[in-house]
């Protein structure tokens, strides 16, 4: 493994980010370990190169820095990989700029004061994130993880790299992310076998075919994305993907800081039961950082 450092702009709530990723981790593809410091692990395939990455804290590390372990096999794609990892953890956002803008709202100011380092998780693999969002429709977070793990076992390739051992135990990463091409060739019936309703299996297949066919290049490219609203319109053209799912995908996969799923029940509850229209109106003053407002409102539900 190659060891590197990932600097970030403080404040950064690593514990909140780690917990967020752990709760949504796909078995066999992602894991959080506590041995040798809190660490988030996942498999990566990028431009034909495959391997493991591990990110987290290490005793004695300088402040404002995370520790990164990368498989030697990923060294040829280290530059684009680092960019994706920084997007995943939202390390390049200026938290003071976000707080200064959103803090004009007294309610958000209190939430930001409570969690000043809260970030919006992005994605290492945009298609994988979009798949997870579709699988998560109308099920619990844990249920979506179970379905994602089954999908990986059925359609993902085995990860053929030297495993990482911590305290004598291997990090439980066994597979690579499922590719759009592999799912596009699968039948809806075989996708449904993981425990999906036929309509949801059709949605997964439709998403895979759209991505494999080049209709959603944002989900496979490292290039900067265009207009997120245009992307959302194209994404909702896939049968079974609604506005909430498309906006959530834009928030995380495209790392759109102004994404705001106004129909979300949690956001409406956190704002005192507002209707979607009233929530949308209230959130206008939060542009261009509405995704961060959403993250703080979601986090407030746990208090």
- Active site positions, annotated: 264
Q: Are 42 and 29 spatial neighbours (Cβ–Cβ below 8 Å)?
A: yes
- Alpha carbon distance, N-terminus to C-terminus of the chain: 39
How remote is the C-alpha of 13 from its chain's centroid?
Answer: 16
CA distances 153 to 109, 171, 191, 213, Å, are 44, 17, 12, 24
DSSP string, 117-144: T------SSHHHHHHHHHHTTTS-HHHH
Candidates 124, 130, 153; CA nearest to 28 is 153
Pairing of strands 2-7, 30-33: unpaired
Candidates 102, 130, 105, 128; CA nearest to 116 is 102
Q: Enumerate helices (H) and strands (E) in the chain, giving the number of each.
A: 14, 7
Tell me if residue 267 falls in helix, strand or coil.
Answer: helix
């Amino acid at each position: 493994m190659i060891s590197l450092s990932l600097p970030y702009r403080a404040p950064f709530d690593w514990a909140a980010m780690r917990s967020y990723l752990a709760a949504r981790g796909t078995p066999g593809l992602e894991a959080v370990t506590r041995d040798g410091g809190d660490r988030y692990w996942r498999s990566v395939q990028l431009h034909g190169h495959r391997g493991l990455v591990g990110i987290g804290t290490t005793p004695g590390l300088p402040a404002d820095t995370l520790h990164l372990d990368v498989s030697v096999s990923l060294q040829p794609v280290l530059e684009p990989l680092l960019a994706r990892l920084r997007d995943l953890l939202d390390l390049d956002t200026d938290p003071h700029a976000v707080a200064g803008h959103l803090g004009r709202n007294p309610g958000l100011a209190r939430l930001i004061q409570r969690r000043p380092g809260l970030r919006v998780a992005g994605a290492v693999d945009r298609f994988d994130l979009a798949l997870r969002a579709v699988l998560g429709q109308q099920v619990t977070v844990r249920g979506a993880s179970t379905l994602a793990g089954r999908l990986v076992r059925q359609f993902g390739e085995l990860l053929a790299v030297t495993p990482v051992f911590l305290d004598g135990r291997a990090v439980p990463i066994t597979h690579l992310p499922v590719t759009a091409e592999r799912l596009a060739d699968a039948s809806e019936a075989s996708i449904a076998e993981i425990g999906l309703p036929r309509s949801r299996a059709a949605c997964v297949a439709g998403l895979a075919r759209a991505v494999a066919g080049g209709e959603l290049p944002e989900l496979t490219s490292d290039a900067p994305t265009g207009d997120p609203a245009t992307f959302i319109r194209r994404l909702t053209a896939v049968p079974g993907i609604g506005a909430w799912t498309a906006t959530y995908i834009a928030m995380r996969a495209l790392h759109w800081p102004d994404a705001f799923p106004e129909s979300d029940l949690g956001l409406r509850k956190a704002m005192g039961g507002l209707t979607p229209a009233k929530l949308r109106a209230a959130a206008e003053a939060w542009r261009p950082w509405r995704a961060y407002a959403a993250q703080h409102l979601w986090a407030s539900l746990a208090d």
